[in-house]
Amino acid sequence: MATKNLARQLGLIRRKSIAPANESLGRRKLKQLFDYLIVIDFESTCWNDGKHHQTQEIIEFPAVLLNTSTGEIESEFHAYVQPQEHPVLSEFCMKLTGIKQAQVEEGVPLKICLSQFCKWIQKIQQQKKIIFATGVSDLSTSEVKLCAFVTWSDFL
């Protein structure tokens, strides 16, 4: 999945943590600010002619719940989204993203996808006791886990 690769490239996932030889075993581990990250890696409609660059639409909506302590992905969300303004993907877009026309045609409208994503968020919030920080006062306690959203894009 592209989202896992992006998380690895950003250094959010580590396969194995190796402590330096001179670090004593009794030394306390520093606590991460966030217990979890939700990493999102949208794919959108695209063209190589530059004519449609302001009307890009989400066509793939993947997200993972990453445990920052273990580096493990604990839950995943994925949906293909039907583009409404330009329902036929360009050849350039299909080659760039690897997404096929049939996948978006079998996908769901963005409104439905967002509803499904919200249900996924609510489920993991209940299961993992996750909260989203709205300010400095929202520090994590032993009862709740602090979570943030992470994404990357080079277009608006």
What is the pLDDT at residue 136? 53
Alpha-carbon gap, residue 146 to 134, rounded angstroms: 10
**The tokens of 103 are what?**
């996948």
Alpha carbon distance 128, 143 (integer Å): 10
Q: Could you tell me if residue 44 is inside a domain?
A: yes
Please report whether residue 138 resides in a domain: yes
Cα separation, 14 vs 25, in Å, equals: 20
- Is residue 26 in a domain? no
Q: pLDDT tens across 14-39, in order?
A: 554 444 544 544 455 566 789 999 99
- With 0-12 / 13-18 / 19 or more C-beta atoms within 10 angstroms meaning exposed / middle / buried, residue 20 is exposed
In this predicted structure, what is the pLDDT of residue 92?
94
Three-state SS across the chain? CHHHHHHHHCCCCCCCCCCCCCCCCCCCCCCCCCCEEEEECCEECCCCCCCCCCCCCEEEEEEEEEECCCCCEEEEEEEEECCCCCCCCCHHHHHHHCCCHHHHHCCECHHHHHHHHHHHHHHHHHHHCEEECCCCCCCCCCCCEEEEEEECCCCC
What CATH number does the domain containing 145 carry?
A: 3.30.420.10
Give this prediction's pTM: 0.75
19 domain residue, yes or no: no
Residue 18's pLDDT is 47
pLDDT at res. 43: 95
Taking a C-beta distance cutoff of 8 angstroms, is the pair 55, 47 a contact?
no
Domain-located, residue 89: yes
Mean pLDDT is lowest, of 48-52, 74-78, 138-142, 148-152, for 138-142
Q: Could you tell me the pLDDT band of residue 155, with boundaries at 50, 70 and 90?
A: low
Q: Would residue 15 count as lying in a domain?
A: no
The answer as to whether 54 is a domain residue is yes
Residue 118: domain span: 2-8+31-151
The pairing of strands 130-132 and 58-67 is: unpaired
The 10s digit of each residue's pLDDT in 84-119 is 999 999 999 999 999 999 999 999 999 999 999 999
- Domain count along the chain: 1
In a domain, 156, yes or no: no
